């Protein structure tokens, strides 16, 4: 099996569930995001989990090819870098997060992006041929 299929099969459905959750519970997700953008144990744990998941993806699949598989590599590196920043440079991470999440419109855009990525990865992981 292509090494890209395993993370695609994990991340794809997870992203779809997150996107639907964000759209169905928009107000609650806005509150969660606002609450999460404060230094504290939740922020630290999200960084730790993101770092670990990103490193797992990079160690499993770190291939820079000009096809759909590069999405997995970019996600892995993004999670690793984002997690490390949340652990090491809390104030910078909070500043970046606050700049990105500015209310309902940004939450909807993030939900749409996550949903599209989830659908693409799920399709490639379960239906499409690598």
Residues 67-97 pLDDT 10s: 999 999 999 999 999 999 999 988 888 888 8
Does residue 46 contact residue 52 with C-beta atoms inside 8 Å? no
On average, the pLDDT of the chain sits at 89
Distance of alpha carbon 34 from alpha carbon 82, whole angstroms:
17
Nearest 10 degrees: Cα torsion 77, 99, 14, 61: -10
Q: Residue 76: phi, psi to the nearest 5?
A: -60, -45
Residue among 47, 51, 48, 75 at smallest CA distance from 61: 75
Give the gyration radius of the chain's Cα atoms.
15
Distance of alpha carbon 56 from alpha carbon 87, whole angstroms:
17
Domain ranges of the chain: 5-125
Q: What is the pLDDT of residue 70?
A: 94
pTM: 0.85
Q: What is the pLDDT of residue 57?
A: 94
Q: Residue 89: phi, psi to the nearest 5?
A: -125, 70
Confidence bin at 129 (pLDDT 50/70/90)? low
Residues 16-38 pLDDT 10s: 999 999 999 988 888 888 887 87
């Amino acid at each position: 099996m292509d090494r890209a299929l395993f993370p695609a099969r994990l991340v794809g459905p997870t992203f779809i569930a997150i996107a639907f959750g964000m759209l169905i519970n928009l107000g609650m997700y806005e509150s969660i995001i606002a609450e999460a953008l404060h230094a504290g144990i939740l922020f630290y744990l999200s960084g730790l989990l993101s770092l670990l998941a990103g490193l797992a993806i990079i160690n499993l699949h770190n291939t820079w090819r000009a096809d759909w598989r590069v999405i997995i590599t970019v996600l892995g590196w993004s999670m690793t870098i984002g997690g490390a920043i949340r652990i090491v440079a809390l104030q910078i991470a909070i500043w970046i997060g606050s700049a990105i999440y500015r209310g309902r419109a940004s939450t909807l855009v993030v939900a749409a992006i996550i949903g599209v990525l989830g659908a693409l990865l799920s399709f490639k992981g379960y239906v499409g041929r690598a």
